[in-house]
Structure 1
Amino acid sequence: MVAKISLGNSLYGSLVYNGEKINKEHGRVLDTNKIYNDGSGKINIHRVFEDFQRWMPQSTKAEKTMMHISLNPHPDDRLSESQYIQLAHEYMEKMGFGDMPYLVVKHEDIDRHHIHIVALRVRPDGSAIDSKNNYYRSKEITRELEKKYGLHTAERQKITPDMPLTKIDPAGDIKRQVANTVKMVGMRYKFQTIGEYNAILSLYNIRCEEADGRVNGREYHGLVYFATDDNGKTIASPIKASRLGKFAGREAISQRYERAKEKIDVKPTKRMVSEIMAQSSGKDDFIAGLKENNIDLVLRYTEDGRIYGATYIDHNTKTVLNGSRLGKDFSANALDRWFKNPTEKPVVPIHQPQPDNSNNRTTGDSSQQNGQNQGQHQGQQQSQSQYGNAPQTHSQGNDFDNAPTLPGLDLFQVGPGYDPEEEAFIRAMRRRKKKKRRGPSL
């Protein structure tokens, strides 16, 4: 049995949360302690709130006056309502809350039924029940109760790098699924914007939105997560990042953006997408080819059907890349034109690997052979330097492996980035070459 404990100062908020479950017929009041209970299983939030208030001291130094607990038996344990009540009272007694007012509500919104307990933690004299070592005390108590009543041992699921990622199951514990997925995505994938973050989350039916505002004169900047269906429609109440954990908060995600900038290498993904695009006849063929090579393409559309966003998720390199990061030929605009008109297909140059002739070399005096190779290489450098171009090598992993050849002017090569001066020089050489063909002006 897993117990989750949270301290807070919003008693009314906790009552409303449980009241909504009951009103939607996803829960019922099982029992209360020192709080009015009419036995119907329903809750009158205002009446219960007033009962709690009567036990609240006039003054207290405690900032967090209430405690919200959820007791979650193993899914294989099917307990009756009387057994839930007995567990709740024994747990609260051992935790030191036997004389405190509290409310026990059973939640039935997911297949794994569980109970929530809302309790005051401040006594009438203003003193608060000690919350130190709550986690360890609670764990000892739950283990004791499991042995006493023959229950299965239930541990919180530990997140490991090799755990599979799956879509949200509406019948399961949505909050836990969202938390686990968000944590695993953050552990594995590299992304640099909220759009790229949402692209990878959307594969598992999760959406994240930024929440900015001002409360009581203080600004706040947070994140809110939504569980969705396959069409992107929200299927559950929004979950604030603070309810999932620090790993899901805005600060943690922003730090992942910064770390990703230093680690992301677009070349492997760009090379693979280029090859698939060259072999594809249209949208369906392109997307299928990407999937076969473990790359997902997430497209975002306007209301009139125009593509305004394209994100490539490379599961091989665990990298999420907006189309424009790969180049304009891979952007949303380029894909929209191509998918609507096959003649608008981007022409992406594909690197042709150079043949390896190392096995054809004859053996001999190694120093003499090396000297000849070095002389030839220096000669190439001198020849190419006359035209302002750096020598090219074909060693494995060279940054210029993807360099396309300019049509009609094979002498010049474009490096991995755009160099305005180099481009201007190339255009000048083209104009000079055309003048030579026309002959001298008279």
Structure 2
Amino acid sequence: MIAKISATENLGGALGYNFKKVEKGEANILLAAELYQSKEGRYTMKDVLADMEALVPKKCRTKKAVFHCSLNPHPDEKLSDEQLTQIAKEYMEALGYGKQPYIVFKHNDIAREHIHIVSLRVDEEGKKINDRFEKRRSKQITDTLERKYNLIPSSKVNDKEDAETPKVDMGKGNIKEQVASIVRTVLKHYRFCSLGELNVVLSKYNLAVEEVKMEFRGKKYDGLVYVPTDDKGGKVSTPIHASDIGRGVGYTAVQNRIQKSKQNVKPLIPSVRNKVLQTMRTSPQTEEELRQRLEEQGLRAVIRKNESGRIYGITFIDDKAGIALNGSRLGKGYTANVFNGYFSNPAHNLFLDETLYGNPSVRLEQSATVQPLQSNAEEGDNLIDELIEDIVGDTFGTTSNDDWKEAAWQRKLRRQSKIKLRRRKH
């Protein structure tokens, strides 16, 4: 059993994330300790939120006073509601939250059933619950619960994941064979629309790809090299040319895969975009919290930052479906710049604005007076994307584009156009 713990100051976001799933029939409440229950025996978001907020002193010094945790049994484990409820009770008691108000939700929207627990990190006097070595203690507790209830150990989950995601291991030798195996597996399973997106997928396997340009006997050639890396992306070996690995992994093969992917991913984009939108509407306070909530939706978020800590790239990956999409491919409202702005000030959440991130058909009606020639949802989305880009640009003073090469290419075309225009005048 794997526990994922986060601390946040947004109680409404933590509760709202779970109650929305209850409303959709994707979750149900297993237990509510020390919380108000209606006469009908139901717990509502409004009542639970008010109850918990009333228990936090106004002069509380703890900024992130909300405890949010998910307990994830092994995918092959089938536990009853009674067993999950008992496990949740014992876990909270052992972690020091047994006397705190908390509510337990069971999620069944994905094949792997799991539970979420929302509680408070401070008591009624405003004193913080001891969270020293919290994750270490949590691991000890889950290990104890696994033994007590004869559960499949979480180590087997990790072993299974490691077996499915082999990384380049410099100590094993046969580096070319390892690289060839990984690249062929990735090219066969994943769809990506740029080398950048391919690189994000390969980074999971401690591998990177780079484009190289060569000239031989007066003719220019484009090629690829694959570079083993460490967990932080640093190069640990000399580049291996695609031609040294074998057929099907070179420049032409990758470009063909990119072109096919551009058509294949189009019908999948709305689903990924909706998952990201619904997650952002829960107002995650940290990047780790965003990753955790997206993982529950079957998505993996890879965030890239420069040395100053600014987010310059974000990619969403569905490993099961085999797709990797840069944020900008979901729309201009999902670019790296938007997420950088959000995490700079989570209180200003553009994703909650229905006029910007509402239903496409509704937005289309709203935009009809502005642009009457637009006649379908895709064009309506383009108009909203431009509006979002303007708002983000005005707010943060930068353009929002994940693909810097594309941006550079556009600038080059504009410069060439200006040069041609000046020549015509002369």
TM-score of the superposed pair, with normalisation by structure 1: 0.44
Q: Going by fraction, where is helix more abundant, 1 or 2?
A: 2
